[in-house]
Structure 1
Amino acid sequence: MIWVTWRRHRAALLTAAVLLAVVTVPTLVSGFAMHEEYRADGIAACVADPGARAGCAQLVEQFAARYGQWGNRMVWVAFLPALIGVFVGAPLLAREFEDGTWRFAFTQGVSRTRWLVTQLSVVGTGAAVLALACSLLFTWWRRPLDAMSSPMRTAAFTVSPGLVALTLFALALGVFAGVLLRRTVVAMGLTLAVYLTVRITLEETLRPRYLNPLVRTDAPDTQKTRDALAPTDWIVDEGLLTSAGHRLSDGEKRDLLKRVYDGDTVREGGAALEHHLAEHGLRHYTEYHPADRYPAMLVIECALYLALAAALFAAAAHLVRRRTS
């Protein structure tokens, strides 16, 4: 059964391996060059020493600008789980039911459970290995950039080891949709829609609240002496706070800026604004996650995706065992 499954899917698995090799070569070349520049130009020493950071801020900013765009382009890796879920997971069993070939498999002395487990094991292992290889490669490439900004932001989190859990979730979602709908094209569409919905919800709504963010409040800084948060901390919300603890809404902040600047468009933090805040008892607040929370948040997100994947695989197995026609 394993040999048959391998024969059926070897073209896709070998194609994925070739594409990974093609991507690996330029990534390694550019990565070694970036890491060497990061070390040789003294940027690593600047980043490691907060006291020296101010003195070499321009050097750090130039390095981040030069390589940051390339790093952000790696968000294409986020499409890898979707592609596996849509083009591998959804057709995996939907095509069997659509073409009727599942009947032949069940007449060859192979139980339904074994038939399903074998296919999922071979395809799932291949998808997980591909995702892990991409994750290790791009996480290594991004290491200097992640030392200068929060790894909890989308670009870094996308290529983290969580990519494996996300890929397994997308595969399980595709398999379940295929078994449920028994139509390949429809299952592919449903897989993509649900995948995007779940992923966007977790990234934009749930991830900032996996752990309760810390809250920092600061008095108006008329002399610009306030210490900034570390660049590796993740700021999830910031704004203005009244003496009674009320957080100003976006509309209230716009009204305040109009009063201070007579409708002129300016950046927050100007001296006039800071004096106005001091006179009216307003303070700044910042909700943030310190950098040392990254491992815990990564574990939480991986656990969520793996739990969803397990539930979807179990639901697909239940539907296969009940299939009679």
Structure 2
Amino acid sequence: MSTMTTAGNQAPTGSAPAAPGRARGLRLGGMNWLVWRQHRAAYWTLLAAAAVTVVLIVVARQQMMTYLDGYGYPHLKPDWEDRFNHRWLDIAALVIGYMPILVGIFVGAPLLAGDLENGTAKLVNSQSASRVRWLATKLGVTALVVAVSTTVVAVAFGWWWTPIKTSSYVFSWIEGPAFDNTGPLPAALTLLTVVGGVAIGMLLRRTLISMVVTFGFAVAVQVAWSQVRQSLGTVLTVTSDKGVGDGSMPPVPEGAYVVDQSYVTSSGDFIGWGSCAEATEKASNACLEQAHVVGWGIEYIPLSQMASMQWLGASILLALTAGIAAFVILWGRKRLV
């Protein structure tokens, strides 16, 4: 009886013993486990918020597509915008637009400032792991969670907005709600504010003040980025020579963002369309004749450039992020505690 029980409990002869915990799947270990456990509340909050956002976007898009199908999507009727309710798109764009600021404040700023303020950094420094490894793991795990969360949300929001992207009725593709909330930009903007917040927390060593300063940094990044966004594209020009009356405007591609429009003279020069905004139509026509105006010139950026502009902008932002991360590691290697 006892022999049978023992034999039943033993592994077959010649087989290797099972590694403890292998059947339970992959597990974090060492420094990765320590960082995840320390900041797991923030990480899980980010991942859960991203998952909930995606679910809500899926539901909202289904409702939108039901409406658009009633107007012949993908070849929409001209009056499809009359009853279209874009309230939820506006709200979602606003919330996602604040994501880099919020994540930078609540995840980036406390990441090192909390450890320096409560003495955890000194405890870690007394262990066998080097400061560089600890800092690199902190930044790496946090960056991975942030990148995954923001990218998933960006893909979902882009999928929602794409059916109406050629229309400026909701928002133009080059404006922040569309341009900054789709493609690689949400991840790039958020990573910059998060790593910037980490650097601020490392220098100030106080959590609350670091969060306040990170808020200012994140807002400054958003303002500066809004001034740079349009310059990432190549402005194209199309002209006409059919006068300036009704129907004389040269055609531009569907969804193109018009940068400026001007009068074109017979010599090929451009003059501002307000140059001949005279008090009366007769005086205006006389001004146009005197300037030898023959048509219109339109400067525009086509929708087809959107993806390349986003990747160029994301590359710049990620390069800045990498520079700040390098500063954090180099500074922290000698002066962290």
Pairing 1:292–2:301 present: no
Contact between 1:85 and 1:170, CA under 8 Å: does it hold in 2?
A: yes
Q: CA deviation at 1:279?
A: 5.5
Q: CA deviation at 1:164?
A: 1.1
The 5 A counterparts of 1:225-240 are 225-240=248-263
Larger proportion of helix: 1
Corresponding pairs, count = 299
Contact between 1:260 and 1:276, CA under 8 Å: does it hold in 2?
A: no
Encode CA deviations 1:184-215: one digit per residue, 9 max, x unaligned: 233223322222223322222x2222233112
CA distance in 2, matches of 1:196, 1:278: 49
Contact between 2:60 and 2:88, CA under 8 Å: does it hold in 1?
A: no
Identity %: 28
CA distance in 2, matches of 1:246, 1:225: 16
Say which is worse superposed, 12-21 or 107-116, in terms of deviation.
12-21
Pairing 1:112–2:142 present: no
Q: CA deviation at 1:274?
A: 7.0
The match for 2:216 is 193
Q: Which runs of 5+ in 1 are unaligned?
A: 47-55, 262-270
Pairing 1:136–2:155 present: yes
Say which is worse superposed, 192-201 or 288-297, in terms of deviation.
192-201
CA distance in 2, matches of 1:193, 1:278: 53
Output the aligned Cα RMSD: 2.7
TM-score, length-normalised on structure 1? 0.82
CA distance in 2, matches of 1:43, 1:324: 58
Question: Residue 45 of structure 1: which of 72, 75, 100 is its match?
Answer: 75
**Counterpart of 2:288 in structure 1: which amino acid?**
L
Contact between 2:191 and 2:318, CA under 8 Å: does it hold in 1?
A: yes
TM-score, length-normalised on structure 2? 0.79
Encode CA deviations 1:155-208: one digit per residue, 9 max, x unaligned: 21122122111111111111111112222233223322222223322222x222
Q: Which runs of 5+ in 2 are unaligned?
A: 1-30
The 5 A counterparts of 1:68-217 are 68-73=86-91, 74-149=93-168, 151-161=173-183, 162-204=185-227, 206-217=228-239
Question: Residue 314 of structure 1: which of 326, 330, 336 is its match?
Answer: 326
Encode CA deviations 1:272-317: one digit per residue, 9 max, x unaligned: 9678535543454322111221121111011011101100100111
Pairing 1:323–2:335 present: yes
Which protein is bigger by CA-based radius of gyration?
A: 2
Contact between 2:276 and 2:288, CA under 8 Å: does it hold in 1?
A: no
Say which is worse superposed, 191-200 or 78-87, in terms of deviation.
191-200
